[in-house]
């Protein structure tokens, strides 16, 4: 303890870390009625951290070459000590991240936390969601299994429906006419360097926006009042709230532990939950396995393309939906945030959720 | 209802810190062991076994390089039927020596160390001779090690 105090004293005299700690963590107050949904940001940070750690470990043994990628992943899984654990934490962790991301986004939507001049927070969060999806898509190809190869073939086929530039866009994405070694090379570079760098930058921007504007309080309870904002910038403070450290950090830690338990539960008791049989066969460009499907979080997009008579209309509908979601804070401008006083929004919210689940299930069984 | 604890808050805090520290150490150990094993050098299964090299690969007057227990080695046929095997790792700084057919000696390309076909230092900075490996002729194979 004494050594630790001496070290902190040494750093504090040079950088004033105690003052920083008191001001930014102990003195950072959150609304008293803050709920469990507010911890999902910290959960996502922890899960992204785990992805970076396991990703670096996998890079030690993974070979990004069409002739060796599958064998290198098999070697990681079957021969490298605890390689199976590192690989499963990475692959299953990606799925748990998507679950946490969806819950985070849905809770922000339901509580209308994007309101009150929080457009940048929402947009950076929306960007993070899309980056995470891109990371999932590019990472999916890397094991170079039949599943990887054909799911990527299906996914990269979609841009081909865009008029005029469709073929060019598809070839540019793949690095050639079909998925091959050149696709693996560019997906590898995107997955390992470009997208994680962009993700880290956007996480920084997102956290800055959250901290600078101030936490949006939950729109529940008898004390809650809708606010009209002054013309100038205002930092939303929560006087008399609970300190971020230690009170809220403990809550964050508890929910992080819950998600880690979920992740480890799948890794130990249902390791193949996200791996159909085609994930265990090496990629064969001449044999398409039957009933090839994208990952569960892309099923809605996959099925939407099949519902409409032309792929172009399907793509247009997806594009329109994503654009509407991105621009929501600019369209939904009323100050009211309480769900009970926004019946139309809440109805659309639950119907939208139902349609998303229904289309995904349809996509899975079609 | 139980009587309130007489312990001062500082002692309770210390107890909780020790408890949290112990739990943290336990969890760190549980996570650290797989990490350590993952990063540990690959096991050298069968590393002590002899290596077989076809006799046909080692023609008279030529050198044949091969992997021996994870390191480069070289086999020579100095006289017809007379085989030698040496570690190909220079004893100076670990570079791999090259066979100079014209002069009949090994040259280390890094700092110009020269070795005889028997591995003895002829010139340059190497402090020791090349390690000699035992060779046994076994039919059409050379068993080294």
- d(Cα A110, Cα A349) in Å, to the nearest integer? 7
Q: Quick one: average pLDDT of A19-42?
A: 94
pLDDT (tens digit per residue) in A31-85: 999 999 999 999 999 999 999 999 999 999 999 999 999 999 999 999 999 999 9
Strands B121-123 and B82-87, by their bridges, are unpaired
Q: Does any CB of chain B come closer than 8 Å to the CB of residue A253? A: no
Give chain A positions within 8 Å (CB) of B38.
57, 60, 80-83, 85-86
pLDDT (tens digit per residue) in A106-134: 999 999 999 999 999 999 999 999 999 99
Question: Which residue in this structure is represented by tokens 């604890």?
Answer: B5
pTM of the model as a whole:
0.83
Residue of A nearest to B18 (CA): A1
Q: Does any CB of chain A come closer than 8 Å to the CB of residue B39? A: yes
Confidence of residue A161 (pLDDT cuts 50, 70, 90): confident
Rounded percentage of chain A residues whose pLDDT exceeds 70: 100
> Average pLDDT of chain B?
89
Residue of B nearest to A59 (CA): B39
**How far away is chain B from the Cα of A85, in angstroms, using its nearest Cα?**
8
Give chain A positions within 8 Å (CB) of B39.
57, 60
Confidence of residue A247 (pLDDT cuts 50, 70, 90): very high
Q: Does any CB of chain A come closer than 8 Å to the CB of residue B8? A: no
Give chain B positions within 8 Å (CB) of A81.
34, 37-38, 40
Q: Which domains does chain A have, with CATH numbers?
A: 24-216+237-285 (1.20.810.10)
pLDDT (tens digit per residue) in B34-80: 999 888 877 655 566 789 999 999 998 889 999 888 789 999 998 88
Give chain B positions within 8 Å (CB) of A57.
35, 38-39
Q: Is the pLDDT of residue B11 over 60?
A: yes
Q: Indicate yes or no: CB of B39 within 8 angstroms of CB of A83.
A: no
Residue of B nearest to A76 (CA): B38
Prediction ipTM score = 0.71
Q: What is the CATH number of domain B51-144?
A: 2.102.10.10
> Which string of DSSP letters, residue by residue, matches A204-253?
HHHHHHHHHH-PPPPS-STT----PPPSS------TT-EEIIIIIHHHHH
**Which value, to the nearest 10 degrees, does the dihedral of the CA atoms of residues B116, B122, B126, B128 take?**
70
């Amino acid at each position: 303890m004494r050594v630790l105090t001496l070290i902190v004293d040494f750093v504090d005299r040079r950088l004033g870390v105690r003052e920083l700690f008191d001001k930014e963590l102990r003195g950072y107050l959150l609304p008293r009625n803050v709920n469990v949904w507010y911890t999902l940001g910290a959960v996502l940070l922890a899960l992204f951290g785990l992805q970076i750690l396991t990703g670096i470990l996998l890079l030690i043994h993974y070979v990004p070459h069409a002739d060796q990628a599958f064998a290198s992943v098999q070697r990681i899984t079957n021969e490298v000590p605890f390689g199976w654990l590192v690989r499963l934490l990475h692959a299953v962790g990606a799925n748990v991240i998507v679950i946490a991301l969806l819950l985070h986004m849905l809770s922000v939507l339901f509580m209308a936390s994007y309101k009150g001049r929080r457009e940048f927070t929402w947009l950076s969060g929306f960007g993070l969601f899309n980056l995470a999806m891109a990371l999932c898509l590019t990472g999916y190809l890397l094991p170079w299994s039949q599943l990887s190869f054909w799911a990527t073939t299906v996914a990269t086929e979609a841009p081909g429906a865009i008029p005029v530039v469709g073929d060019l866009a598809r070839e540019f994405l793949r690095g050639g006419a079909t998925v091959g070694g050149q696709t693996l090379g560019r997906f590898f570079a995107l997955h390992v360097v470009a997208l994680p760098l962009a993700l880290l930058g956007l996480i920084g921007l997102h956290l800055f926006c959250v901290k600078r504007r101030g936490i949006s309080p939950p729109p529940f309870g008898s004390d809650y009042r809708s606010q009209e904002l002054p013309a100038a910038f205002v930092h939303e403070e929560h006087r008399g709230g609970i300190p971020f450290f230690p009170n809220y950090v403990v809550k964050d830690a508890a929910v992080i532990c819950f998600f880690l338990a979920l992740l480890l539960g799948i890794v130990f008791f249902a390791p193949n939950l996200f791996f159909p049989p085609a994930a265990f066969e090496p990629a064969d460009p001449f044999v398409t396995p039957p009933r090839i499907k994208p990952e569960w979080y892309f099923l809605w997009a996959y099925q939407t393309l099949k519902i409409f008579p032309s792929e172009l209309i399907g793509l247009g509908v997806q594009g329109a939906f994503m654009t509407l979601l991105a621009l929501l804070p600019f369209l939904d401008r009323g100050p009211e945030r309480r769900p009970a006083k926004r019946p139309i929004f809440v109805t659309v919210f639950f119907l939208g959720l139902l349609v998303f689940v229904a289309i995904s299930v349809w996509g899975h069984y079609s | 209802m139980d009587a309130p604890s007489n312990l001062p808050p500082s002692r309770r805090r210390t107890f909780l810190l020790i408890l949290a520290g112990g739990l943290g150490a336990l969890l760190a150990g549980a996570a650290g062991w797989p990490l350590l094993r993952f990063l540990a050098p690959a096991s050298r299964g069968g590393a002590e076994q002899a290596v077989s090299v076809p006799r046909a690969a080692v023609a008279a007057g030529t050198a044949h390089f091969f992997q021996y227990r994870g390191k480069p080695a070289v086999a020579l046929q100095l006289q017809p039927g007379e085989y030698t095997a040496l570690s190909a790792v220079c004893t100076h700084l670990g570079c791999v020596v090259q066979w100079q057919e014209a002069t009949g000696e090994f040259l280390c390309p890094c700092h110009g160390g020269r070795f005889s076909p028997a591995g003895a230092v002829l010139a340059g900075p190497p402090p020791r001779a090349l390690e000699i490996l035992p060779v046994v002729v076994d039919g059409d194979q050379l068993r080294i090690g």
